[in-house]
Chain A
Amino acid sequence: MKALIPLVLAVALPWSTLDIPFLFDGPLNSPGTLQLLGVCLVFGGLALGYDLLFGHAGLLSFGHALFIALGAYGVGILVNHFYWPLWTAVLLAVAGAAIAAFLLGAVALRVTGIALAMVTLAFAQVGWIVVNRDPGGLTGGEEGLPLGPAAVPGFLVGVANTVNLYWLALAFLVVVVAIVHGIRRAPLGRVLTGLRDDERRIAVLGLSPYRIKLATFVLAGALAALGGVVYVLLTGGATPYLASTDLTLSLIVMAVLGGAGTRWGALLGGIVYAYLDQRLTHVGGSLPGPLGQPLFVLGTLFVLAVAFVPGGLAGLRRRTLSATAS
């Protein structure tokens, strides 16, 4: 129930005119701040969804961006080029991504460990190539694919409606949290942890590791696609970055920084990473040399965290708690 307090605060946040200097440029309910927070929430959800694979089931996939891009570009293409209504397009894009995750997962999950990482990386690379080649003018190549405002319902368009987009992002995050935490509590969650720790034992218990992993892969793919859709609505269009390996690497960084496989770690990591990434880009120009590059700061932080803070932010908290208790 403790989780409800931050949720209520997050829902109520757009009514606050609190101005936090340095952290945000404007008051909390200004469109700029809400947009920034919305992107943070989406990345929190994406990171938690990825952590279902990486932290919970122990599947090191380097192809998660593919499914985010499938959701993002799927909606963009259906809405812009085929004039579908937004919500039908969203449904179809997410379903399409789930089917793609099923087909690719069926091949990729035949191998484990590093080989799995390689195969998923290669599949995602195909997505990146296709998006950049702009087949038939569908994806817009390097320019990206801006979402035509005519197709989007009025309450999601325009600066004044940023607050609705913020709530949409929050809703996405809540959905991901509900699903991932539901799985954690269900017997399936324990099976996943078992798969991560010792796959043979799960097989000996009479369960099929392959099928469970595939189901998890499909679910994570669908959540990623949904996140991609929300990201497109929030930022107004799909960009090739959504299909890039860099995005998957960022998700890994988020999950690990926050604490992979913990209840709130990846979510927290995603929010903090996305916040730093955007803020550092914003204030970057005023910082000297490499400090002006967000990825330099984040990458260095990440290496340090991996080396010195195993368990990420969540692990840090646990250790502080146990230190104060003893």
Chain B
Amino acid sequence: MMNPMAAWQDERSVAAPAAPLDARRLRAAFLDLYGRPPLLDERERFAGRGLSELVDEALAGETFWRNWTDEQLYYFLLIDNFHPADGKVEAIPKDLAAATIGVRDAIHRIAISSSFDRRNPGPDTFVTVVMEQLLGLTVQSRVRDLEIGKKLYDGGTGNFLGQTGRSQADVVNIAIEDRRMLELLLEREHERVLRATPDARALKDWTRRLERDDRDFATILREWFLSPAWEARLDLRVPMSNRMFVRSLFVDLADRLPADEEGKRMRGALDGLADARPLRSVLARLILDSGRSNVPEREAITDPTTWVAGVFERLLGRSATPDELATFVAAFHDPECRSTTVVYAVLSHPNYSTW
């Protein structure tokens, strides 16, 4: 059977560049693809080039799939102490990038991991989560299926969702093979990437494609990114997750990603707040005041107007309006204003936390 990844990899070499990547598109595309803004060298490399080039490079690489896997783990709340440490789950990004597995296999590895089992202890919780999170079913209206699933979990034999099974692993296997699993996955991903509920007919078509070969997901993603729907998504700003905020803060201020432990702890702390702004603000100030950011000293800025304009483009992905520019430059000239004060004003504004 032909490798679908190979198909689009051939196609990309002849694909015409889509809309050129201006500041907004570049920032949005990186946040969508990698869960972070572009690093300095990436900004220079991709500015003005076509979106298709960026998407093609991302889908062929492990970094994109690592971010995708992390999004899936968060969906199943397999975070902090429940973050899977076994080799099979760790290998998902590499195997997806190499197209040796598809998304169905990837979700299967997650659901049969010991972390998933520990996170969802006992037959009632385990089967309920499989039915809800993998298939999108409302368990309260499917009590019989729940009871049969629990019987399988305990080693009994039964017909669970139309398939015969006799073990806890079969509960997962049956759900993974169910087309509703693919449908729900596509629906979730469509909403994440394009911020819209998918059209029912299109959803059926995509599901059929994944049923034939679940590695086709990369091609579907590529189509989404290069469609008018992605252009339309640029006008729909949504709040950043805390994970994305922490990663963005480090990239924007220090041109690097946080260390794993650093990022995990910061995200965990922010996740504990319904309104994370007070702690987001503390983190931004900590990095700015630590001297570890790449914000230049005030004395080193010879052209404040150009510098402020650059701060807006880089941190908000858009040009400053004339009023914004005038106010910021006037503030900058006040002796009490530091360069970090200007950056902090942008970082602590709600717009920075949306994308």
A binds B: no
User: Which residues of A line the B interface, CB within 8 A?
Assistant: none
